[in-house]
Amino acid sequence: MLKLHPKTLFVGQNQVFLPNCHSTNDIASQYTERDDNYDGLLVYTDFQSAGRGQRGTVWLAEPGQNVMMSVVLNTSYLSVNKQFDLSIATALGVYSGLNSLGVQDLSIKWPNDIYWQDKKLGGILIESSIREGKLKSSIIGIGLNVNQRDHLPERAVSLALAGYNYSRDEVICALCEGLEKHVLLLKKGYDLKQEYYSVLLGYQKERSFLSEGVTFQGVITGIGERGELLITSDHSKKKFDIKEISFCF
């Protein structure tokens, strides 16, 4: 496998490619257990048999057609209560990476799914290790549909189906570049929330949600300190964690 060449300082400069594996996040974790000096390590594969998504879902893709990658980041500068800031930075990194390729009509669905015209294009799973009240390192798992055209889940889309023709490796490089840009901004202390709101699906717009089996109308008004979704509905303010609410399409 030829080495990828993202235009970055550290994200993706060290690479591990596996033709297949159970999960790139698990492989990346094995490296962090051996040594702390893996900041920016990229692990990617043609196929993973046990990729994970938010809410404990399994993420599967056709071999060689999509992005299945993980990046190790040193996040020791972040306190535990700032974990959602990392989620914001990574989601914006993926968004901006795709945008740099010319992909339009993108949005971020809370907390960090990537959407194209109300269809899911990809998702992010962050797994962090903690030491003395601070993050030690974080593994950013990214799954993105690139060239797969068949057997996608309902309400999912790929770049190919959206009319974009890119190789998977081009997309991986763009994601590394976008991710590094926003992680460095986070490390420098920039507040990325307003940029996040500017591309957040449904922000300040009335839409339907489902919670505890009940559908209701509401408006996303912001994000709480720990990443909760803030919604105004029937003139009252409500706060939801990831497993407490779903979007209706």
The full 3-state SS of the chain, as one line of letters, equals CCCCCCCCCCCCCCEEEECCECCHHHHHHHHHHHCCCCCCCEEEECCECCEECHHHCEECCCCCCCEEEEEEEECCCCEHHHHHHHHHHHHHHHHHHHHHCCCCCEEEECCCEEEECCEEEEEEEEEEEEECCEEEEEEEEEEECCCCCCCCCCCECCCCCCCCCCCHHHHHHHHHHHHHHHHHHHHCCCCCHHHHHHCECCECCEEEEEECCEEEEEEEEEECCCCCEEEEECCEEEEECHHHCEECC
Judge contact between 153 and 141, C-beta under 8 A. no
Confidence of residue 58 (pLDDT cuts 50, 70, 90): low
pLDDT digits (tens, 9 = 90+) for 1-17: 679 999 999 999 999 99
Domain 206-247 classification at class level: mainly beta
Residues 158, 144: Cα–Cα separation, whole Å:
8
59 or 130, which is more confident: 130
What pLDDT, on a 0 to 100 scale, did the predictor assign at position 7? Answer: 98
Rg (CA), the chain: 18
Domain spans, the chain: 15-198, 206-247
User: Which CATH entry fits the domain spanning 15-198: 3.40.50.9100, 3.40.50.970, 3.30.930.10, 1.10.3720.10?
Assistant: 3.30.930.10
Q: Residue 52 above 80 pLDDT?
A: no
**What pLDDT is attached to residue 132?**
85
In this structure, the number of other CB atoms found within 10 A of the CB of residue 171 comes to: 25
Dihedral sign for Cα atoms in the order 149, 155, 158, 161: positive
Alpha-carbon gap, residue 137 to 78, rounded angstroms: 10
Q: What average pLDDT does the segment 23-41 reach? A: 91
Look at residue 149 in the predicted model and tell me its pLDDT.
93
The pLDDT of residue 93: 99
Instruction: Report the range of poorest mean pLDDT among 52-61, 73-82, 165-174.
Output: 52-61
For 96-113, what is each residue's pLDDT tens digit?
999 999 999 999 999 999
Alpha-carbon span 45 to 7, nearest angstrom: 20
Are 199 and 211 contacting, i.e. CB atoms less than 8 angstroms apart? Answer: no
pLDDT score at 37: 82
- Model confidence pLDDT, tens digit, residues 122-178: 999 999 999 888 899 999 999 999 999 998 988 999 999 999 999 999 999 999 999
Q: Are strands 214-223 and 113-116 parallel, antiparallel or unpaired?
A: unpaired
